[in-house]
Amino acid sequence: RYVLEDADQQWKNFNTNEDAFLSWEEYKNGTYGYMDGIDSEDESFSDLLKRDRQRYDRADGNSDSVLSLEEFSHFLHPEEAEHMRPLVVQETLDDLDKNKDGYLSLEEYIGEVHTEEDGSEPEWVVGEREQFAEQRDTNKDGKLDKEEVGKWILPHDSGHAEEEAAHLMSMADGDKDDELTIDEIVDHHDVFVGSQATNYGGLLHEEL
């Protein structure tokens, strides 16, 4: 229900000519219009634009170069559409695979680690290492391939939500006060956009 309501609300914001379809130009102008003055060669802007265009094209199921409301819902919430899920996995890899080898290493899965004053690892890191080895890396090759990443971020078991929320907290809660500040979320943005718990960053956009 949330997916349909969200798509309908955003459709009204983007579909400026109020017809039955949403063009790429309408979406782009509604999303990036404020960036018109930015250099088109700016790498971060270019990456965002390319990512959205790839998702737009994948959501365009009948390849007519415009999106229907249903297709737009697939664009906004790709995890809910079977044909979009491979793209969700690829986007997660693009965000977290820092050395671009097509896999997630343990270090990439955990992210930047700050050691304790005595030089030891924080308890959450120890827990994440165990989870990586025992649950995520199913073929035990020391890294996560696309299939393993898919099982992590697009699970079929209902108990995953609490597990994923705990993972996000362990990654982003820098001062370990069991609360996330806006700064902590922004500093770990790449972690949140790769998480189903935040609808791949969509919920963050609404809250922030």
- CA dist., res. 65 & res. 193, Å (int): 26
Min mean pLDDT across 53-57, 137-141, 189-193 is at 189-193
- Average pLDDT of 160-185? 74
The sign of the CA dihedral 143, 51, 57, 21 is positive
Task: Give the global pTM.
Answer: 0.70
Q: Exposure of 111 by Cβ count < 10 A (0-12 exposed, 13-18 middle, 19+ buried)?
A: middle
d(CA 164, CA 154): 11
Range with lowest mean pLDDT among 24-33, 96-105, 185-194: 185-194
Candidates 193, 202, 189, 93; CA nearest to 143 is 93
Tokens 């088109």 sit on residue: 40
With H, G, I as helix, E, B as strand and everything else as coil, classify residue 101.
coil
Q: Are strands 66-67 and 22-23 parallel, antiparallel or unpaired?
A: antiparallel
pLDDT band at 41 (very low <50, low <70, confident <90, very high): low
Dump pLDDT digits (tens) for 92-106: 999 999 999 999 999
The burial class, CB within 10 Å (0-12 / 13-18 / 19+), for 72 is buried
What does the pLDDT look like over 142-164, one tens digit per residue?
A: 999 999 999 999 987 545 556 66
Mean pLDDT of the chain: 83
Report pLDDT for 200.
Answer: 45
In which band, very low, low, confident or very high, does the pLDDT at 172 lie, cut at 50, 70 and 90? confident
**Confidence (pLDDT) at 195:** 54
Hey, what amino acid is at 5?
A: E
